[in-house]
């Protein structure tokens, strides 16, 4: 799974910590999601989409092998 969290954060000038605080997780969790080491739950993906005012599909995309 690919994601555009880093890009979305940059667009609104938000740090990993600010995003983590907004959705109720640790900064390390945001880092792991951004780097592709952790796939977020549906609830976390929806919360991130809400923070950025985007659809989930604008932030997360399946790889061809997914």
Predicted local confidence at residue 14, as pLDDT: 98
pLDDT tens across the length of the chain (66 residues): 899 999 999 999 999 999 999 999 999 999 999 999 999 999 999 999 999 999 999 999 998 876
Measured distance CA(59)–CA(48) in Å, rounded? 8
| Coil/strand/helix, residue 35 | coil
What is the C-alpha to C-alpha distance for residues 11 and 56, in angstroms, rounded to an integer?
Answer: 16
Domains of the chain and any CATH numbers: 2-54 (1.10.260.40)
In this structure, how many other beta carbons lie within 10 angstroms of the beta carbon of residue 45?
20
> In the prediction, which pLDDT does 33 show?
97
* Predicted pLDDT at 64: 81
């Amino acid at each position: 799974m690919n994601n555009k969290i880093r890009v979305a954060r940059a667009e609104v000038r938000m740090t990993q910590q600010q995003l983590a605080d907004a959705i109720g997780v640790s900064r390390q969790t945001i880092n792991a999601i951004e780097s592709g080491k952790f796939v977020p739950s549906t609830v976390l993906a929806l919360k991130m989409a809400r923070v950025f005012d985007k659809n989930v599909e604008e932030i997360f995309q399946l790889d061809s092998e997914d």
